[in-house]
Amino acid sequence: MEKQEHEALLKIARMAVEGAYSVYSRFSVGAAVLLENGEVVRGANQENMAYPSGLCAERVALFYACSTYPGVAVTGVAVAARDASGAWASITPCGACRQVMAEVIRRYGRDFDVILADGEGYKVVRASDLLPFPFGM
């Protein structure tokens, strides 16, 4: 992916934050997944009083993308978050989300960029670098 694609996907992830249900943590997260066919799928964290029944934004978006477009590889994932004050916050995926990303790499046989909001800016890493020792790999 190129810089302008990173920025466009991150913009969609920031918009996806609005769909978060984060009444317990007050930390709203949005994710956007870019697929090889050009489709973009959004997701937001969904919390539940019966913790840990909720789901992170990254997994919401990845599971939806992979179930809706099962034969189409992921080329990028962007993640953005707002804290309780409404300010953009730095974010990295949790361990479960990293393992799901590792499985997506395994499923489609290709790595992808992960664009992580860093307050107002962002950084880009490869999904495979987020979890060096995934299960089953």
CA distance 40 to 37: 9
The DSSP letter of residue 132 is S
Q: What is the share, in percent, of the chain residues with pLDDT greater than 90? A: 92
pLDDT of residue 76: 98
Predicted confidence at residue 136, as pLDDT, reads 80
Give the residue with greater pLDDT, 68 vs 52: 68
Say whether pLDDT at 92 is over 70: yes
Residue 112 has pLDDT above 70, yes or no: yes
Above 70 in pLDDT, residue 117?
A: yes
Q: Is the peptide bond before 52 cis (omega within 30 degrees of 0)?
A: yes
Q: Write out the DSSP string of 5-69.
A: HHHHHHHHHHHHGGG-B-TTT--EEEEEEEETTS-EEEEE-B--SSTT-SB-HHHHHHHHHHHHS
Enter the pTM of the model. Answer: 0.95
The pLDDT score that the predictor gives to residue 137 is 65
Band of residue 91 on the pLDDT scale cut at 50, 70, 90: very high
Identify the CATH class of 3-130: alpha beta
Catalytic residues, by residue number, are 58
Domain segments of the chain as ranges: 3-130
Q: Indicate whether 87 pLDDT > 90.
A: yes
Q: How confident is the model at residue 51 (pLDDT cuts 50, 70, 90)?
A: confident
Question: Taking a C-beta distance cutoff of 8 angstroms, is the pair 127, 104 a contact?
Answer: yes
